[in-house]
Structure 1
Amino acid sequence: MNSHLDHQPTFWAVIPAAGIGQRFGADGPKQYVSVCGQPIIQHTINSFLQHPQIEGVVVVLHSEDSHWSTIYPVEPQGLWVTVGGEQRVDSVLQGLMALEGKAHEHDWVLVHDAARPCLRQDAIQRLIHECQYDAVGGLLGRPMTDTLKCVNQEQGVEKTLSRVGVWQAQTPQMFRYGLLRTTLDHLTHQDRLRITDEASAIELQGYVPRMVLGDVSNIKVTHAEDLALAEWYLQQESVS
């Protein structure tokens, strides 16, 4: 086995898919809703399976998931599944643990939302290209263009926030396997409840992730009305 000094870092993907999509309103988890003839999660997985630099993909499922086997009766080469936890951070950590024995400490892990099916190959490549020699890693994102308002519990606007330097975070978020696993494993209970992505956990340790420009099309399907837009983006990608 090569030492870390000799080992050329490998790229892995972890897709947390243990959520039940309460805001979506469908009968089942939103990641299994069909778009362009395939479940959302299948589009998401294919983005990584088709990328030449991704060595393997771990999908983290809910313990009572009954939909997965209808899509993948047998997982193809390079795709593994494991069971997640209560919070996103728990599920991502379970995904990292599933890579034990496969991933080296200095390998890169790209964590991606299951409900972002419109991820383009060139966006993955851009993230890898800009972060693979970075000391920390980074994430895709877009600069905010809408005006931001701070609203109270009565829906009253209290103030307008500056959007200068404010970006909307996307996924994938790419960090070293060892750093990300150690960081998530040592989070306090309070930190686990307040972080919403991997980058925020890394930031808590004093690191500065790199922000890489993502695509407008890399939307997260959160509400039912997002489906039509996701379908349009996928159709545009298929004819390009």
Structure 2
Amino acid sequence: MIAAAGAGLRAGDEIPKQYHVVAGRSVLAWSLDALLAVPGMSGVMLAVAAEDTRATTLPAAEDSRVHFCSGGAERAASVRSALRALAAIGAGDEDWVLVHDAARPAVAVSDIERLVDAVGDEPDGGLLACPVRDTLKRADANGAVAETAAREGLWQAMTPQLFPLGRLRDALDAADDRVTDEAGAMERMGARPILVAASLSNIKYTYPEDAPLLARWMISTGGEGA
């Protein structure tokens, strides 16, 4: 499923960032096509805002595997809604669900395949991520350095994240909407998801300055990451 119900105001436009055009196509179109290209993908559920009229006009929306549901104000609410919608069209608790953020258009299909292969039948699931490379500073209330944080063992979480539908639903039902990713909800239930290294290109489109960088990656690789 793809979480695509957010307003994306930090990207600097009244238009939701998933519909910003990068390298000739919308951010959501790139993300949707990446998931549809994964071998064995049986369907993709898009969780969009209730007032969204753009999603159904995407070229890939004509694919019979693409479905739509109304998302929520927070990411966790959108994922819960998508899981219910998947169950309503026949998905079972043991089926595996990839949860992707619409704002990561440069995800490489090969990375998603590696995630699926690495997780296998591991019930705790897994996620794409990247080891932290830079020195980390913690700021105080005045914006000055309070301390330098050790980066050893730290990873930057990305998407997609892969979990069994039933376990993910239960984890999200037990969590509140402030949980920032699915792995975090699973961890609260005692799970230890597998970290699978992803390409550096799999950045989240958050700020206006991200668009030119993503566009270069998309043009140079044809949408297959870096």
1:133 offset after TM fit, Å?
Answer: 2.1
Corresponding residue for residue 181 of structure 2: 197
Q: Distance in 1 between matches of 2:207 and 2:144?
A: 24
2:16 maps to which of 26, 29, 34: 29
TM-fit CA distance, 1:112? 0.5
1:67 aligned residue: 54
- 2:132 is aligned, of 126, 134, 144, to 144
- In the TM superposition, 1:5-154 aligns within 5 A as 14-71=1-58, 75-100=62-87, 101-154=89-142
Distance 1:208 1:69 in 2: 36
Determine the C-alpha separation between the residues in 2 that align with 1:234 and 1:119: 10
In the alignment, which residue of structure 2 is the partner of 1:181?
169
Counterpart contact for 2:108–2:223, Cα < 8 Å: no
- Give the total of aligned pairs: 223
Alpha-carbon distance in structure 2 between the residues aligned to 1:42 and 1:162: 38
CA 115–74 in structure 1, closer or farther in 2 if over 3 Å, else same: closer
Alignment partner of 1:230 out of 195, 210, 214: 214
Describe the SS at the equivalent of 2:159: strand
Q: Could you say what secondary structure the match of 2:129 adopts?
A: strand
CA distance in 1, matches of 2:196, 2:66: 26
Distance 1:72 1:153 in 2: 47
Q: Give the distance between the partners of 2:223 and 2:124, measured in 1 at CA.
A: 36
Shift, 1:52, TM fit: 1.8
Mark the structure with the bigger radius of gyration.
1
Specify whether residues 73 and 137 from structure 1 end up closer, same or farther in structure 2 by C-alpha distance, changes over 3 A only.
Answer: closer
SS at match of 2:161: strand
**Is residue 32–residue 60 contact of structure 2 (8 Å, CA) maintained in 1?**
no
Percentage identity across paired residues of the two chains: 39
**Could you tell me how far apart the structure 2 residues matched to 1:166 and 1:35 are?**
30
Distance 1:38 1:197, change over 3 A: same
Deviations 1:43-68 (A, max 9, x none): 00000112222111000001121322
TM-score, scaled to structure 1: 0.89
CA displacement, residues 164-196 of structure 1 (integer Å, 9 cap, x when unaligned)? 000000100000011001111232xxx322x10
Distance in 1 separating the partners of 2:186 and 2:61: 35
TM-score, structure 2 as length reference: 0.94
The CA distance in 2 between the partners of 1:46 and 1:72, in whole Å, is 9
Gaps of 5+ in 2: none
Q: Which consecutive unaligned segments of at least 5 residues does structure 1 have?
A: 1-13
CA RMSD of aligned residues (A): 1.6
Q: Select the residue among 195, 209, 218 that pairs with 1:211.
A: 195
Instruction: Tell me by how many angstroms 1:73 deviates.
Output: 9.7
Render the CA deviation track for 1:54-88: whole Å, top value 9, x for unaligned.
11100000112132244359632100010011211
SS of residue matched to 2:199: coil
Provide Cα deviations, 1:112-162, integer angstroms capped at 9, x if missing partner. Answer: 010100111110100000002213100010100111011012101100000
Aligned to 2:43, the other structure's residue is in SS state: strand
